[in-house]
Structure 1
């Protein structure tokens, strides 16, 4: 199949996501959901699959993070779309709050990272048009900004505006893929169209279900977008009544996850355990499991790319070939890691103003700073951490943003800086500000161990450990999300605690025990054993947990359903 965007008649899968990490400098994402969406588009380009992405322009981005006195400060993240994308010739009207709001867009072309494959287009929806009133022009300005009304209006633009813009451009769509519930309102536009052609509600709903695929990412009910119906009637208008929305999206409130479930013929979670959790949350729905993956070329360090090109031909298009990475001479694999670690040390020195020791064991922890991720777990017993480091020296690399309204997440960042000052030179701790895809790539490839400590069962999947594994970096992680599938104790990494409800005290004790008695002695005292773990991370996890495998599963299972 060809993904050439010069043929508008080619039937495509339209992949809708509120955020999408496309390129450094484009503020179209905030975290893991957007990075995953970008990896989907990059794999589609590598595999020459007929897809088109749809997301919001987010001209003023998320925010740039600055640290002052250990506290997060949010700075403007405005970017210029004309430097990255091409303005589209079409624009479409959408009714929002009783007004006609025009939605235009820009086209960004996703290129293959490892071959001259056809490009995959991504439409960046934009309401900053002269036809619109000032407050409507700002609807695509801030990613996850504003209040509930702003969020709902953004989701009208994404869902309804996105479907209409695809049609205006003449793009033929055979499947609509909703990446999380933010895009669920696209089903209303499809249902409206079907009812106009066929007044049978049952048949119209069946037709919409046949076209829609829904991926849910959130394992807790509070994380799903919900809106009061008075607000929905104000923002969406007559469609709420005309389509009898409460029968599809919940009687009490407009629940976008329920709407997506009701009008999608295929639903999946993002890991085996997450699918189980989702089936329990949404009884009566079949929830399949397609475990997430990461884009191989994007997340491999420069040194690992060269190494794989030399010893594992075709790994870029067929990452399952990394099963054979154990044929790479051990010295060359260790040299690639040293090169990646040297690049990371440079980043840490720029961020912390101190020179770190490339021979010292480096632990990496970088993710959205929110309470359930438990960023404080590693520091919960400072005295024991010091004792461990006296025998086997360690240094720690940290990064992550807290949502501007997440005061608890911001306190976590401040506390991490307090611990860094308290530990001083004994255990160097560096926090890298403004965590983005560039710094993430250096972190996941350059540390010696990737740490992940979420509360079970709140990690739907997690992908940072997959990125680390691709570079031969093992994980020390809670048994949740993808790690339940990827952890082979002592071969791909190590588990913290047991598979059950989280317990901060027990998990912290397990974390310290594994570091002190297993991980650090192996690193410092058994280099041959440590090399086997590096090889296992690549051959077992890197070869499987990649977005090529994920997208192929979508094509074969979800899109052909």
Structure 2
């Protein structure tokens, strides 16, 4: 593609086709970029940490309470890693020896940094996004920054690098240890405060010898200051972030997220498109095939009394702003449909864990509810191609973009979505999906009276539209299939990752 330099992408997580090296959307997005770059012949180098015990998995008590447990890396993943040698860095005043492990796909490569010695540094990167103390979190990403800088110097050389992409604020420590004028691109992936960490200035002085003006230092502001370009990940996210960081508004632009079509579209639909014979009739056949694959997977987990009902999917990280309470409320009202709920909470998210318990109880007690707690890329393919409708329910302005609705849409699974994130650029209400709620561009706290009032109003519209869609699927399949077909045809040219990645190689 005319790209002569190496694109380096630094990220806390990446979802490959194997291994537990991701927690959610950022990792899956980076995985899609990785495979797309490889397919396009782009030299794309991902730098990240090796988490020996992955993110988190769960067992359940008899009452449905989730019990977190480690996710040891599977043997098939470990067997594909090749050592690229050792590097030494200094963290917390101590020399730390790391081994760099490589995972390759065509011209794309991911490097995982793995501490060799046991002790504090090994514990630091044992799990993704799970730390006991804010200092542990700080030093985890100091380690990523120093390891990335050293690897670029010793194994890549800076003059061969065209761009260095900093994914999320936790990677923004890298410019403090690797001066690379005009090379840094910063991508902000969330408006939420968890994506904009702040640390005491004493940690920076102790680790780097830097004295900042403020007593607390924002990693987001470091990333913004060090980068020549800063992208948000949808048009609405761009507008929301301008109000959160108005002093950097002039520096922001956006590239709406996309997905890898080759990774997420079913083979059946790919063939129909390549032969030019995709229509409502052929789509119905393709959707039935995907549905049967999904039902086979479900039957291995739970006996279903009826499989002729519409399959409604809600699959995402379980946390408040995703509004899992919309799903519990609609399930309690018992509409005539099969509900598949998939996802897990962070082990420190008490409210998210309560929803996991509730979903587990529904799974055990309600014949038409299936809960998949161990949701991953492979299961996502089944759910997002085999369902009849995806529910996309984030609280307004809290979803930066979202890509699950894109993956569903390219497989002829339309969404009922709140007006948030990238949805507004892709879904036209009643044409290629359905919308509910208000296009709010302020970051309203969901737990305030204003947030509660907004929730109540939006839930009524959500419920009304969902019941009408279920009726449409049951009683007017032709009209439903027209919406499903339009979702494929309108989404493909707008979500293809091959087009998105061009912005980062210009």
After TM superposition, is the score higher than 0.5?
yes
CA contact (8 A) 2:168 2:195 kept: no
Aligned to 1:543, what secondary structure does the other structure show? helix
Alignment of 1:115-514 (within 5 A): 118-127=106-115, 129=116, 132=117, 134-146=119-131, 147-171=133-157, 172-191=160-179, 208=181, 210-234=182-206, 237=207, 239-241=208-210, 244=211, 246-247=212-213, 251-285=214-248, 286-311=251-276, 327-351=277-301, 353-355=302-304, 357-380=306-329, 385-386=333-334, 389=335, 393-420=336-363, 424-425=366-367, 428-500=368-440, 503-514=454-465
Judging changes above 3 Å, is the alpha-carbon distance between structure 1 residues 36 and 525 closer, same or farther for their aligned structure 2 residues? same
- TM-aligned CA deviation for residue 145 of structure 1: 2.2
1:258, 1:476 → 2: CA distance? 35
1:406, 1:211 → 2: CA distance? 37
Aligned to 2:417, what secondary structure does the other structure show? strand
| Cα deviation digits, residues 376-422 of structure 1 (max 9, x gap) | 21332666x33xx3xxx311001111001111100011123344566
2:136, 2:173 → 1: CA distance? 15
What residue in structure 2 maps to residue 59 of structure 1?
A: 52
What residue in structure 2 maps to residue 11 of structure 1?
A: 5
2:499, 2:224 → 1: CA distance? 24
Query: Runs of at least 4 residues of structure 1 off by over 4 A?
Result: 419-422
Judging changes above 3 Å, is the alpha-carbon distance between structure 1 residues 298 and 382 closer, same or farther for their aligned structure 2 residues? closer
| Cα deviation digits, residues 536-556 of structure 1 (max 9, x gap) | 110112331232221122223
What residue in structure 1 maps to residue 83 of structure 2?
A: 87
CA contact (8 A) 2:163 2:505 kept: no
What residue in structure 2 maps to residue 541 of structure 1?
A: 491
- TM-aligned CA deviation for residue 104 of structure 1: 2.4
| Cα deviation digits, residues 150-194 of structure 1 (max 9, x gap) | 221221121221121122113521211001111111101123xxx
2:346, 2:126 → 1: CA distance? 16
| Unmatched segments (≥5 aa) in structure 2 | 445-450
TM-score, normalised by the number of residues in structure 1: 0.83
Aligned to 1:125, what secondary structure does the other structure show? strand
What residue in structure 2 maps to residue 72 of structure 1?
A: 66
- TM-aligned CA deviation for residue 19 of structure 1: 0.2
2:2, 2:96 → 1: CA distance? 34
- TM-aligned CA deviation for residue 512 of structure 1: 1.1
Aligned to 2:88, what secondary structure does the other structure show? strand
Q: Which of these residues, 21, 32, 36, is aligned with residue 39 of structure 1?
A: 32
- TM-aligned CA deviation for residue 514 of structure 1: 0.4
| Cα deviation digits, residues 467-526 of structure 1 (max 9, x gap) | 100101000011000111111111111112221365111111001110223x12321222
CA contact (8 A) 1:2 1:48 kept: no
TM-score, normalised by the number of residues in structure 2: 0.91
C-alpha RMSD of the superposition: 2.0
2:67, 2:266 → 1: CA distance? 30
Aligned to 1:460, what secondary structure does the other structure show? coil
CA contact (8 A) 1:275 1:287 kept: yes
Aligned to 2:55, what secondary structure does the other structure show? coil
Judging changes above 3 Å, is the alpha-carbon distance between structure 1 residues 335 and 67 closer, same or farther for their aligned structure 2 residues? farther
What residue in structure 1 maps to residue 501 of structure 2?
A: 551
CA contact (8 A) 2:396 2:438 kept: no
CA contact (8 A) 1:469 1:537 kept: yes
- TM-aligned CA deviation for residue 222 of structure 1: 4.9
Alignment of 1:520-535 (within 5 A): 520-535=470-485
1:65, 1:417 → 2: CA distance? 11
What residue in structure 1 maps to residue 99 of structure 2?
A: 104
